[in-house]
Structures are given as C-alpha cells and as structure tokens.
Amino acid sequence: MRSPNLLFGLLIMLGACGISFGAGYMIAKNERPAPAPRIETAAADPAPTATPEKPQRDPAPTPDKQDPPPAPQPAKPEGSPDIKPAASDPTKVDASKPAPAPKPLPTVPAAEDENAAKLNELKERLKRIENGEIDPEDVFNASKETFSAIIRGSVVDGNGVGVPGASVHGTYGETVGQNTRFVRVMMTGDSELGQLLATTDGSGHFQIDVSREVAKGASVIASLTARAQGHADSTTASVTVAAGETKEGVTLKLRQPGSVSGWVVDQSGTGIAGVTVALSAGNTMGMEMRIEIPGQGGGHSAITDGAGEYRVENVPEGRYSMRIEAAGWAQVSGPSHVEAVAGKDTRAAADFVVKASSSVKVQLRGPDGTPLRTWVNIELQDGSGRTVWKRGVRSNAQGLAAMNEPPAGSYTAVVTVPGYAPEKVQATIVEGSVCDLGVVTLQLASTGD
C-alpha cells in the first residue's frame, strides 16, 4: 500500500522541481538583457520551409530549426560591430538579429585636411577682427602719436652708377597688426609719384627723415620712386620702418626710357581732345595700380591733343595695360596692353574708340584747401536713402575724379575718402551730360580718445 504514497511523493517532488526551474529561469531572465520580440519563430510558423519576409530572421533558416532556449546567447560573428540597443529600450540589445554591416568611417584626403585647416585659420582671423582685436578703423580713428624714422639709400643708373641730382618721391602708408592682418592707408602726395622727399648728392645717395602723426602702435610704409633727366622712372620700392628705426641700403634703379603713342576717336573717327591715357604696370593683391599724370604728358600717362593724339613719354621697357579716363566719354573699344621698348616709340595696336556718356565729376580739397590725390567713392542715394549706384576711382594730382555712366535722376551724392568725414552733395544726372559736383572740401574724420 506504499504505492499511492510513493506516487504522491513523486508528484510533490516534480512540482517542487518545476517551481525551482521556473524561479531559476525568471531570475536568469531578469539578470540578462531580454531579446527584442521576434517577428517570426520556427515554432509559430505553420510552414517551416516558408521564405522569411523580414530581414530580422536568422540569415540561414532550415526547415527543422527550432528556437534556441531563452537563456543561451547567440554567438557574435567575428569582426562584427556591437549591436545598437533597440529603439524602444536603450538598455536592451536584440541579440537574436543578425549584425548589420559595419558602416565605413568617412575619410578625408590629406590635401582636404590641409585646406580645411587653412579655412579654419582664416575664419579665426576674421573672428578676431570682428571681435575688435584688429579694427579697420584704428588707422582712421585711433589716437595719434608722433612717428620718426630715417631711410637712407642711393639712386643708380642701369649700370649701377650713382646718379647725382635725382629726385626721390614717395607716398606714406600705415600698418597695424602682423602678417596678413594689417590695415594700410595711403597718404596723398603732391605729384603722380607722391611727395618730393629727397634729392641725391654728388654720389647718388639720399636720406629721408620721416616725421609724421600716425595711429598709436603703427609702422610706416614708404613707397619710393626715383626720377632723373634722361632716364625712365625707377621701379617703386616699398620700405617699412618702425618708430625710431634707421633703414639703410635702399637702392632705386633708374630705367631706360621709351614712349607709347596712339589716337582717341569717336565712333565717326573724329579725334577727341582732353582724354587721359594711362599705363599701368605691376599689381598689388591682384589689382593694377594706375598712374595718371594729367597735364602735358610725361611719366606714365598723357592727355590727347586737339586731334585726339597722345604720346606717353619716359616709359620703362616692359608690358603695360592701357586705360582711358574722360568725363563725358565712355570707351567702346581699344587696346588693352602695349609692349614698350627702350629707346623707341611704340604705337598702340588700335585706336581708342569712345562714345558720349553721362558722367559725374568732383574736385577734392583737404581742410587746408590743397588738392587731394587719393581714392574716392561716389555713392548716389535716392529720396529714401537707398543706394542706387556706387563707383570708386583715384583722383589726379589736381584732386579731380570722374566716373562715367551714372543713372539719370536726382540724387544725394555721398563723397567718401579714407580718413575724412563723408560729404553729401545734391546731384542731378542728365543722360549724355556731365554732372559737376564742384569743389568738395573734406574734413578729417574724428579720432578716438
């Protein structure tokens, strides 16, 4: 009669084992990340051989494959990246899905890395300027201080022999900052080459005593050119000096002269008088610097006579660009370059052909009434203050500046010169005529404390 008791005992043991297994399973389940719900399983699939429709299935299912027990983790393919947690629960990882193919990291060629670094450096420089570390207004508005320096050198001919009695001309500028971070303001001179700064002695030597008011902390740049009878002007030398410095050994070499000639005519072939023809050589920051000498010719420009002919004298040998300027005349066609030859007159390859044009001109004066040879902008504003036209040009030694083809109408003309306060003048532009703004006397811009 022990059979019923034995059977009852076995049932109790089986129950206890079941409870223990279930508890162990739940504990194990809570101790490891739960797999994301499977979309399909072999047990739930009535047709084990059916092709899976979702990419989440095992990569190589077999008809008799069964789901693995919940506790074991599938082996991670060698070299595969860590699987990202499921979006629904960032703390759990779907270990049953095949690992996605690793995405290659973007690569940047070395050259692009270098360019990106340069771009970032430029942005940082611009940011520093915007933050006021280098203020473009410093040269105009900063406090001033007396600057003194000495520049010594010599003027020589083509053979290197000193030339006595040569004149040394120049314009002054100021620099603020270092490397490419600078502001330069060219001062006006009394001729096309700037001020007469020195004359050479019997051996061709010269000394320039620099003394002027400049922005605090600025250095001075002197652009020097020599001139002597029977020679073409020397190349221009830029000399930078700090306060109290003596710069030695500057050499200005005169060149052998030639000349360039040609005609300026209208569209009917009639010569046009009073047109300035200017030659330009060299460049700064990719921009040609024009030299203009209104008057009776000489240097690197000339004015056409009554028949429309011009002749530019004392032109050093070399290649030059050619341009014209004349209030009321706009260029239609003409030569762009010319090759000057020492000792010869070079005829331009074509005539300059011009047509009548509306124009605006102004004559600039400084606070003391002297002409200003400088860069000037003329801006035309309508009745609401909106800018409708703006041009810039360099005035000549008499302070004259002219710009062609402004739009017809009534405007406020704003005349702006670096270092001076803007001046406003009323202007009425008539098609085909010259609008003369007259003499504009500029006042120095106010300076900082």
**Distance in Å from the first CA to the final CA of the chain:** 120
Same domain as 399, residue 296: no
| pLDDT score, position 309 | 97
CA distances in angstroms from 256 to 164, 235, 300, 318, 320, listed in the order given? 17, 11, 14, 11, 15
Same domain as 282, residue 249: no
Contacts of 3 (CB under 8 A, 6+ apart): none
Same domain as 363, residue 320: no
**pLDDT tens track for 11-33:** 455 554 444 444 444 444 444 44
Considering the domain boundaries, does residue 25 fall inside one? no
Considering the domain boundaries, does residue 10 fall inside one? no
Count structural domains, the chain. Answer: 3
| pLDDT score, position 293 | 32
| pLDDT score, position 116 | 75
Side chain identity, residue 84: K
Contacts of 77 (CB under 8 A, 6+ apart): 98, 99
Same domain as 146, residue 244: yes
Domain end residue (candidates: 253, 280, 315): 253
What is the Cα 205 distance to its own chain's centre? Answer: 40
| pLDDT score, position 362 | 95
Same domain as 407, residue 366: yes
Domain end residue (candidates: 300, 324, 356): 356
Considering the domain boundaries, does residue 323 fall inside one? yes
Helix, strand, coil % over all residues of the chain, rounded to 5? 10, 40, 50
Nearest to 242 by CA among 214, 206, 203: 214
On whether the CB atoms of residues 360 and 440 are closer than 8 A, the answer is no
Residue stretches of the chain with pLDDT short of 70: 1-114, 118, 121-122, 124-142, 176-192, 282-299, 447-449
| pLDDT score, position 442 | 94
Same domain as 220, residue 162: yes
Considering the domain boundaries, does residue 172 fall inside one? yes
Same domain as 398, residue 372: yes
Domain end residue (candidates: 335, 356, 377): 356
Structural domain for 296, as ranges: 257-356
Same domain as 375, residue 295: no
Same domain as 238, residue 198: yes
Same domain as 233, residue 281: no
What tokens does 356 get? Answer: 């009548």
What tokens does 23 get? Answer: 């508890």
Nearest to 139 by CA among 237, 212, 246: 212
CA distances in angstroms from 156 to 202, 223, 234, 351, 370, listed in the order given? 12, 17, 9, 36, 33
- CATH number, domain of 184, equals 2.60.40.1120
| pLDDT score, position 266 | 94
| pLDDT score, position 1 | 45
Considering the domain boundaries, does residue 320 fall inside one? yes
- CATH number, domain of 344, equals 2.60.40.10
Considering the domain boundaries, does residue 81 fall inside one? no
Same domain as 287, residue 311: yes
What tokens does 343 get? Answer: 């000792």
Considering the domain boundaries, does residue 344 fall inside one? yes
Considering the domain boundaries, does residue 97 fall inside one? no
Same domain as 271, residue 235: no
